[in-house]
């Protein structure tokens, strides 16, 4: 059961970082200050799964904190704060920053780091969870994100050496560095050693440069007062294909990736029994007409009439579908009862096949969308488009079809490359056009995170200050299988594994 849950939910930093040992502290002391993490999803998961002793503080701009609607878990406190101001929480055991500093050029990043250092006690640590790019062989995704960061924020995607240099200038001493690998849409799991021969093979593998990505799209039909369903109007308005520009230099390979979009030719009836029997048939028919190949991505669409924004859902539940469908039936007989008999998990998310162990495919596993994915999605839509990540799919047919698709992949031992996209209910021409553009951007973002590799997550634990004899850089070993030289200039730029 533990292995199954890990496969479904993915692993977080606290699953492999020895926080109980390294962050041991008094119960009344602030254990961790999470800086710039919006509505506190990371802290909430940490509290729920590990229940640490000590206070947990969430910090973000006052307007962001005021926008939090759901009550925070007991033991988590929210505080309005700009990271460029003096840090009000002094002497916390740990300060945590995830995907924050990459938004800022070195000058501002240094200022933020200095504000933290000024507040730290002798035994405090700073935990940084960020992307790091290799010096050579940069993926299309990283190249495009680097350009976006440069043009929009005057920032950059830093290399490992640039991160270490930044921290040294801020007078921090790096005491632990762990490189881990991307699991596509979600957070990154524990370090996975990849032999050098495997890395060389990946460089030219068709997995990293597929000629075409296939996407199967469905939309719903009318129900209740919704005589026309905007989700199917948007789905049927999508083009048959999209081209995703490549960051490869001219002459080094294809300059674009083709995305083939197959929209199911009729709207899905809003009925539990129909969904449960139709989805397997749709996937079988797709495979038959595509030489036995399953779609790379399955994208279901539905409306959320009470929402004015566009959202991608993170999870689907097995139980409690109590709202009646167009046949007047609830979802127990055609869903919960059957799924319980099949001993399916109460919650399913996008994720890898439970028995998948091969190294190469570890970098291509789907995972639930997170803030990093949201930023990628935003880069493909018009500025100001209101796109969000949702954790509540509604316990109606939208969530039901999501669970149905996830469950089928789960039972068949397939990767759960399934996504649910909620759109507003308006059928006005301008709203359908806007929704189509946002859906196309979502498909591009899904394609990027599913297929591009060549970047990894860098996790850094630092203490201060850097002493004359600490020589933090030389404490970082390179991959022992490839080199014994510990000079930072010789750290391998291929995908490697460094963990102290």
End-to-end Cα, the chain, rounded Å: 30
Residue 102 is among the residues annotated as catalytic for this protein: yes
Helical ranges in 337-396 per DSSP H: 337-341, 359-362, 371-378
Q: How many residues does the chain have?
A: 500
Which residues, including other chains, have CB under 8 Å from residue 230's CB and lie 6 or more apart?
A: 303, 423, 424, 425, 426, 427, 431, 432, 435
Count the neighbouring beta carbons within 10 Å of the beta carbon of residue 197: 8
Q: Is the peptide bond before 476 cis (omega within 30 degrees of 0)?
A: no
Query: Rounded distance, CA 442 to CA 283, Å?
Result: 21
Q: Which of 238, 392, 235, 207 is nearest to 300 (CA)?
A: 235
Helical ranges in 384-481 per DSSP H: 397-411, 429-451
For the chain, the farthest-separated pair of C-alpha atoms sits apart, in whole angstroms, at: 75
Q: Which of 400, 369, 390 is nearest to 279 (CA)?
A: 400
- By CB neighbour count within 10 A (0-12 exposed, 13-18 middle, 19+ buried), where does 234 fall? buried
Q: Residue 300, SS3?
A: strand
Do 373 and 185 contact (CB within 8 A), yes or no?
Answer: yes
Catalytic residue, chosen from 41, 102, 264, 451, is 102
Do 182 and 455 contact (CB within 8 A), yes or no?
Answer: yes
Count the neighbouring beta carbons within 10 Å of the beta carbon of residue 201: 15
Catalytic residues: 102
């Amino acid at each position: 059961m533990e292995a199954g849950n890990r496969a479904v939910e993915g692993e977080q930093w606290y699953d492999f970082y020895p926080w109980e040992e390294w962050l041991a502290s008094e119960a009344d002391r602030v254990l961790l200050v999470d800086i710039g993490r919006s509505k506190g999803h990371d802290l909430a998961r940490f509290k729920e799964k590990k229940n640490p002793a000590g206070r947990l503080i969430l910090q973000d701009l006052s307007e962001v904190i005021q926008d939090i609607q759901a009550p925070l878990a007991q033991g988590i406190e929210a505080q309005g704060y700009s990271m460029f101001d003096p840090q009000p929480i002094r002497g916390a055991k740990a300060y945590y920053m995830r995907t924050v500093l990459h938004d800022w050029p070195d000058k501002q990043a240094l200022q933020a780091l200095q504000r933290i250092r000024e507040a730290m006690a002798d035994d405090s640590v700073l935990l940084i969870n960020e992307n790091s790019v290799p010096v050579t062989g940069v993926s299309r995704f990283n190249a495009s994100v680097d350009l976006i960061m440069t043009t929009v924020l005057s920032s950059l995607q830093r290399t490992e050496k640039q991160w270490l240099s930044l921290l040294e200038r801020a007078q921090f001493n790096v005491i632990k560095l762990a490189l881990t690998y991307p699991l596509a849409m979600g957070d990154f799991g524990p370090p996975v050693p990849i032999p050098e021969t495997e890395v060389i093979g990946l460089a030219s593998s068709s997995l990293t440069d597929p000629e075409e990505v296939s996407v199967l799209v469905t939309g719903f039909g009318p129900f209740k007062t919704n005589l026309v369903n905007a989700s199917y109007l948007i789905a049927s308005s999508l083009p048959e294909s999209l081209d995703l520009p490549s960051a490869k230099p001219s002459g080094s390979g294809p300059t674009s990736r083709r995305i083939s979009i197959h929209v199911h030719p009729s709207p899905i009836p809003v009925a539990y029994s129909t969904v449960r029997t139709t989805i397997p048939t749709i996937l079988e028919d797709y495979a038959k007409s595509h030489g036995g190949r399953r779609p790379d991505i399955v994208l279901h669409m539905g409306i959320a009439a009470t929402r004015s924004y566009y959202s991608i859902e993170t999870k689907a539940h097995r139980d409690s579908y109590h709202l009646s469908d167009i046949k007047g039936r609830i979802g127990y007989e055609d869903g919960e009862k059957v799924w319980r008999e099949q001993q399916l998990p109460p919650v399913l998310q996008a994720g890898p096949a439970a028995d998948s162990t091969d190294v190469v495919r570890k970098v291509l596993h789907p995972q639930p969308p997170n803030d990093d994915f949201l930023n990628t999605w935003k880069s493909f839509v018009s500025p100001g488009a209101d796109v969000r990540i949702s954790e509540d799919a509604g316990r109606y047919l939208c969530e039901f079809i999501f669970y149905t698709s996830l469950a089928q992949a789960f039972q068949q031992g397939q990767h759960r490359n399934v996504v649910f996209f909620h759109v507003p209910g308006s059928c006005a021409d301008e709203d359908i056009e806007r929704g189509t553009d946002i859906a196309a951007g979502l498909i591009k973002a899904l394609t990027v995170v599913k297929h591009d590799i060549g970047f990894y997550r860098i996790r850094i634990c630092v203490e201060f200050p850097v002493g004359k004899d600490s020589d933090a850089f030389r404490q970082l070993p390179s991959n022992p299988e490839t080199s014994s030289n510990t000079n930072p200039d010789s750290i391998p730029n291929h995908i490697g594994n460094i963990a102290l």
